[in-house]
Structure 1
Amino acid sequence: MDLVNDGTFEQNNGLVGFYSDQEALTISGAYMPILFDTEVAVGGGLILETTVNVENNVNLITGDIITEKAATTVYSNFLDNSFYIGESSASKINGYGAMTNKETFMFPVGNEDRLRPLTIESVAINAMAKCAYFFEDPNNSKTLNIDFSTTKKATEFISVSDKEFWRLESDVPSKITLTWDEYSNVGVLGEYLNELKVVGWSKSENQWVNLGNSAVEGGMGYGSVTSETVVPNDYEIFTIGGNDSRLETYATMDLDNYFMTPNGDGANDMLILEGIENSPNNLLEIFNRYGVLVYTQANYQNDFNGQSNRNAVVKRGTGLSSGIYFYILTMHDLRQKHQGYLYISN
């Protein structure tokens, strides 16, 4: 049966279950109910017409929790130490999920058919954060009725997905992790995983900007990419980006091989690439012998000291072990790619 909350429904420490094989159920009313434990097994979906707060646990069994996506006023809210279990493509939040008084949270959001979670990792506790997923072309969002043109970019050297996007509200500086699956088609965004990044539509610049990739995991079919630290409320929406296909036309040439002994004695402590000043708009990438990206820096200024700035292999800020590494230097101003080997001896 439906739940109509026109009174106070907040003093409960038990389970409130919603069950229906085929028909949808609705939670409505003038007041927001506060549930302790709740269970959702509703084949037609549990439709929220008012916000529902949960203090302890949500057990997602089958059917989605559904909210309106055109506005953020109604949402499924996880309070304080509450959590959820059972999220899947068959049971998730198709609409806005929210969390209160948390630093880190994975929103179990998606569309009608697929779970497409977003994770927020904040530097401090969020009083509240909200998130929803849209399997829509940002160039023509029918739900939001806004055009986020993928051709409007802060730099010509990034590409922007036209398959999907997320909306996230938070005023706390945070890292954002987006996920992809086979329908995301990230292969058109970059030839290699390390080329993928988080991009956001800047409210102040009214264009897409590169928010970085502090971590990339998975493969081209399924995976995730994490941004650098940003303030989510500075952006309308977020999606996955990559390198513009025009980079493939860059001339590639072998550059010198380099030797480093980063021991602080003043000799060979830094990776000095001659001529880097001729292309301030550049990108340096260093890979270990297994092909894993261990260092990346846009606008490189000859300041690599042998320490990784990636968390995939070693802890960020930790010195790389002795061995042979491979580097690629993309010089956008000159439309060139240089590559070579780097030997580090500690």
Structure 2
Amino acid sequence: MKTIYGILLFLSLNLPAQEGTRNLGMIKVHDQGNLGFHGNLVNDGVFNDNQGLVGFYSDRSIMISGLFPTIFNDTEFITEQGLQLAVSMKVENNANFVQGDILTPRTDSFTSLQFLSESFYTGANNMSKVDGYASIQNKQQFTFPVGDAQQLRALALHSESTNPVAYCAYFYSNPDDFPSFNSLNRENTLQQISRHEFWRLEGSVPSTIQISWNERSQMASMAENVDEIVVVGWSKANNQWENLGAGSIGSLSDGFALSSPFVPNDYEALTFGIVDITTEIPDLANYLLTPNGDGINDFLHIDELALSNNNWLRIYDRNGMLVFEKYNYTNEFRGYANKGDVVLNRSNGLPQGVYFYLVMMEDLGLEYQGYLYLDR
């Protein structure tokens, strides 16, 4: 039997958006239990010891507010006009994005959709994501499902150790529109700073990040070559944009940049910059992969790796999310992920489309990049 019980006091409310529910007691959703909210939720009681599934379903905008954050095991969101958080929501297991954004205030990073140590998410896309701040607790690696009203603009975080907490939000705005930033204040090696978008990332652990660009990033108006594109950060100490880049992959219309290690709390914002380059990362061939068992193009084979006894292969999707990684690669990639937070079902393989690969031959001091097209 599915059970939801506890010491409860529900009050029916007439809130500005629509009718809702206020919890003044204690609610617990037990294993295999389901609880759905179709209106606002005000949590002024205990709602933090849950198993089962709590869902939010509405064709109108609804809100979670109250004195205390909610903590859910599994949760799903089908809210066409969005679910607004006036108080944080914490997830212990799966957050399933189906339809509608999770809206949090960009002026307050402490109000967020927070992913706890064992949690993950599924289904994040342009129509369902966090429009505002997402955060993590006790995680070392995570891809934040953040964006704005129109697009998912994820940031992938790889930290040297576990983050006690970290917060991230995306802004589709010119950094110069904010008094904290000035694109003219930059290191001498930087020629331009993006005027279209930036991310905020808070965290105390040294980390690297990956951020992607697309057509609306207007990278072609800034750069002539992908290798000119770098991650930059606004230094709080030096009041200037600084080069944090470690490489970029893709084309001027679609690609992503990787950073070198830095401490997020040292930087107010992160975006793309342009540097003057004297050397380029050479390209290897572009590949077609058709893993259908016919013996033709069933796996990714790169001849040049035979020259190196100490190599890495990393494969990224179009959003810059790492989906495959192998040390001393020998033809293992057949269209299936072994990395990543957002793969729905690894046994089904990666979806058809364009992927970027990065090859590092550490013993030879060489680095290469290219594309592959996965056709199913």
Q: TM-score when scaled to structure 1?
A: 0.72
Could you tell me which amino acid in structure 2 is paired with residue 189 of structure 1?
Answer: M
Q: Which of 111, 114, 124 is the equivalent residue of 1:77? A: 114
What residue identity is the alignment partner of 2:268? E
Match among 140, 147, 151 for residue 114 of structure 1: 151
Shift of 1:308: 8.9
Residue of structure 2 in register with 1:5 after alignment: 43
- After superposition, residues 1-346 of structure 1 pair within 5 angstroms as 1-21=39-59, 23-141=60-178, 146-155=179-188, 157-214=190-247, 216-243=248-275, 283-285=278-280, 287=282, 313-315=358-360, 317-319=362-364
Pick closer, same or farther for the CA change 1:124–1:8 going to 2, 3 Å: same
Deviation, structure 1 residue 219: 2.1
Structure 1 residue 285: deviation in Å? 3.8
Distance in 2 of aligned mates of 1:135 and 1:15? 33
Report the Cα distance in structure 1 between the residues aligned to 2:65 and 2:281, rounded to whole angstroms.
55
SS of the residue aligned with 1:139? Answer: helix
The whole-number CA distance in structure 2 between the counterparts of 1:225 and 1:67 is 26
Separation (CA, whole Å) in 2 of partners of 1:286 and 1:26: 48
Paired with 1:210 and 1:309, the residues of 2 have a C-alpha distance of: 25
* Structure-2 separation of matches of 1:220 and 1:284: 18
**Partner Cα distance (1:227, 1:9) in 2:** 39
Structure 1: gaps (5+ residues): 248-281, 292-306, 326-346
Contact 1:196 1:213 in 2 (8 A): no
1:302 maps to what in 2?
none
Structure 2 segments unaligned to the other structure (5+ residues):
1-38, 287-309, 315-356, 369-376
What letter matches 2:362 in structure 1?
G
Report the Cα offset of residue 217 of structure 1.
Answer: 2.6
1:263 corresponds in structure 2 to none
CA contact (8 A) 2:227 2:280 kept: no
CA distance in 2, matches of 1:200, 1:79: 27
Alpha-carbon shift at residue 290 of structure 1 (Å): 5.4
Q: Which amino acid aligns with 2:160?
A: V
For 2:86 and 2:55, how far apart are their aligned partners in 1? 17
Larger radius of gyration between Structure 1 and Structure 2? 1
- For 1:150 and 1:8, locate their aligned partners in 2 and report how far apart those are by CA, in whole Å: 47
Q: 1:25 offset after TM fit, Å?
A: 0.8
* Whole-angstrom CA distance in 2 between matches of 1:37 and 1:289: 43
Q: For 1:233, what is the secondary structure of its paired residue?
A: helix
Partners in 2 of 1:53 and 1:316 — Cα distance? 41
3-state SS of paired residue (1:194)? helix
State the Cα deviation string for residues 5-63 of structure 1 (Å, max 9, x = none).
11111121011110012x11111110111001101010110000001100001110111
Q: Identify the range of structure 1 (221-230 vs 159-168) with the bigger mean alpha-carbon deviation.
A: 221-230
Structure 1 residue 187 displacement after superposition? 1.3
Q: Cα–Cα, structure 1 residues 48 and 36, in superposed 2: closer, same or farther, change >3 Å?
A: same
- Cα offset for 1:288? 5.5
Conserved in 2, the CA contact under 8 Å of 1:308 and 1:320? no
Task: Say which SS state the counterpart of residue 213 (structure 1) adopts.
Answer: strand
d(CA) in 2 for partners of 1:289, 1:104: 29
Deviation of the 1:140 alpha carbon: 0.6
Aligned 8 A contact 1:158 1:210 in 2: no
Distance change >3 Å, CA 31–CA 288, structure 1 → 2: closer
